[in-house]
Structures are given as C-alpha cells and as structure tokens.
C-alpha cells in the first residue's frame, strides 16, 4: 500500500468520522434515523459478503480502520436513538425499531420477559464469540512477534551477508516486517473495541429503559405501566437492531483472522 493511498484513506476516514460526530449534535427526524440504521445493516452485510467471497490481498491492512469506523457509526446511531427516546417518549416513531420489537415482543407478555430473555441470550453468545476471536488474535500476534519476526529478520540478514540482496532491499524488507507486526498489534487493539462496544451498547439499552421511563413519567406525566412497556419494547428492538450488523462484522473479523492473521 503506497503512502499516497494510505494518506487519502486516512483523510477519508477522518472526514467521515467528523461527519458522524456532527450528526450527533443535531436532532434528526425518525425517517432519517431509519435510513441510517438501514444503511448500517446494508453496509455490514455487504462488507461480510465482500470478505467472504473475495480474497483481497490488502484487506489485512484496511480492515482495522473499517472496524473502527463501524463502531463509531454504531455509537452515533445509539446516541441518536437514546436522545430521541428521552426527548420524544411514547411519541418516538421509528418504523424499523418498531418492526424488530414486534418480532421479539409479545403483546400478551405483560412484562416482555420473552423478548428480554432472547435479547440476553443473543448478547451472551456474542460476548462469547468476541472473546474467542480476541484470544485467537492475541495468540497470533504473540506468535508473530516472538517467532516469525525473528525468523524473517534472520533470513534477511543471511541473504544480505550472502550478497543475495543489497542494503536498500534489506532495509525495505525489514520495514515491511515491522509494518506487519504493527498491523498485528493494531488488529489486537481494534478488535477489543468490539468487546468494549458491546458493553457500552448494554449501557445504552439500560439508559433507554430507565432514562425514558423517568423522563416520561416525571416530566411528561405518562402512565407508569404504559411507559415501562413502551421503553422496554423500544430498548429491546433497538438493541437487536444494532446487534445484527455487529454479528455480520464479527463474522467478517473471524474470516479475516482465519485467512490472514493465523
């Protein structure tokens, strides 16, 4: 990857990140929120398909930045959802969240326990999968730094002493090895964002329920029983909706780790 392309990519990601942060600062209509969540689903699914079916040589170097961008974008969506829940209350009208809520929430279940249990199981499975992937990345990073890097550098030194390569070529190969070691560390660091993001997403679910219930009953004088059902339904629906793209990205991460890291 050339320095020019790398700089352009870094600049592009920076502009996108700033745009996302600006988006958080201003209220947006529910239809635009549905559009952003749909875009998130489509983006994560297409990324999964792209990694699964096409073996690109540069995906190892670009995927950590894609992973970070995805997490920032999802955090922005969660912040927007929480703000709208607290400010709009029972008038919060996201058709996409309502659709996913209806898949899990049964109107006959007064306390929505079935939906909460399904959501809890899904999150637990996701946490377990993230933990296993982090372990594999950590082992691969340690193995490369402890074993492979020493062997590769020794081979370069041997080729240089035997006159097979010149000083410039030896320096170039050593820099490539060092860059690859840095990418392993970056993978390890960015992948841990998935685990931390999932913990933060649980905090959003709790805030959506408690914050929405408090603002609704104390500030807007909503009925307590109705408010609790509404906010639990919204929180579970938004939680599952954000979990689906996270699962796509988790699978994509596992594929990249299997092909290029291990």
Whether the per-residue pLDDT at 7 is higher than 50: the answer is no
pLDDT, one tens digit per residue, over 67-119 is 778 888 888 888 889 888 888 888 888 889 988 888 877 655 555 777 778 88
Measuring CA to CA, which residue among 44, 51, 42 is closest to residue 69? Answer: 44
More confident residue, 260 or 226: 226
Reported as type and span, the H/E element at residue 235 is helix 224-256
Which DSSP category does 105 fall into?
A: -
More confident residue, 96 or 202: 96
CA separation, residue 217 to residues 88, 179, 222, 231 (Å) = 12, 55, 5, 11
Q: What is the pLDDT of residue 42?
A: 92
pLDDT, one tens digit per residue, over 157-199 is 777 777 777 778 878 877 777 777 777 776 667 667 777 777 7
Q: Quick one: pLDDT band at residue 59, thresholds 50, 70, 90?
A: low
Q: Quick one: pLDDT band at residue 124, thresholds 50, 70, 90?
A: confident
Mean pLDDT of 52-67: 70
Work out whether the CA dihedral 8, 75, 255, 130 comes out positive or negative.
positive
pLDDT, one tens digit per residue, over 13-50 is 666 667 677 777 777 888 889 999 999 999 889 888 88
Long-range CB pairs of 111-116 (<8 Å, 24+ gap) are: 111/232, 112/229, 112/232, 112/233, 112/236, 115/232, 115/233, 115/236, 116/232, 116/236
Q: What is the pLDDT of residue 1?
A: 43
Q: List b or e across 206-232, with b for residues whose CB sees 16 or more CB atoms inside 10 angstroms.
A: eebbebbbebbbeeeebeeeebbbbbb
Contact 197, 75 (CB under 8 A): yes
Whether the per-residue pLDDT at 230 is higher than 80: the answer is yes
Q: Where are the domains of the chain?
A: 3-261
pTM equals: 0.75
Angle, vertex CA 100, rays to CA 123 and CA 33, nearest 5: 100
Helical packing angle, 59-88 and 30-53, nearest 10°: 160
Listed in sequence order, the residues at least 6 apart from 76 whose beta carbon sits closer than 8 Å to its beta carbon are: 20, 21, 23, 24
Contact 187, 64 (CB under 8 A): yes
Q: Tell the burial category of 197 from Cβ atoms under 10 Å away from its Cβ (0-12, 13-18, 19+).
A: buried
Q: What is the pLDDT of residue 86?
A: 87
Q: Quick one: pLDDT band at residue 10, thresholds 50, 70, 90?
A: low
Query: Measured between alpha carbons, how far is 210 from 92 in angstroms, rounded to an integer?
Result: 15
């Amino acid at each position: 990857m050339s320095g020019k392309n790398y700089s352009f990519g870094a600049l592009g990601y920076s502009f996108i990140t700033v745009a996302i942060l600006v988006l958080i600062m201003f209220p947006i209509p529910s239809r635009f929120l549905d559009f952003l969540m749909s875009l998130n689903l489509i983006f994560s699914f297409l990324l999964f398909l792209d990694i699964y079916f096409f073996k690109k040589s540069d995906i190892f170097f670009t995927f950590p930045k894609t992973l970070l961008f995805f997490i920032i974008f999802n955090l922005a969506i969660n912040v927007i959802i929480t703000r709208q829940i607290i400010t709009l209350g029972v008038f919060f009208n996201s058709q996409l969240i309502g659709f996913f809520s209806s898949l899990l929430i049964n109107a006959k279940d007064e306390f929505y326990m079935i939906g909460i249990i399904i959501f809890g199981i899904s999150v637990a499975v996701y946490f377990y999968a993230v933990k296993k992937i982090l372990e594999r990345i950590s082992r691969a990073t340690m193995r490369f730094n402890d074993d492979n890097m020493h062997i590769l550098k020794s081979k370069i030194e041997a080729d240089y002493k035997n006159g097979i390569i010149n000083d410039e070529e030896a320096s170039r190969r050593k820099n490539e090895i060092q860059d690859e070691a840095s990418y392993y560390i970056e993978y390890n660091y960015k992948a841990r964002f998935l685990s931390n993001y999932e913990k933060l997403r649980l905090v959003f679910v709790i805030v959506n329920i408690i914050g929405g219930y408090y603002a609704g009953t104390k500030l807007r004088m909503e009925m307590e029983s109705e408010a609790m059902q509404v906010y639990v339904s919204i929180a579970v629906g938004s939680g599952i909706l954000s979990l689906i793209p996270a699962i796509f990205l988790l699978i994509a991460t596992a594929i990249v780790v299997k092909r290029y890291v291990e």
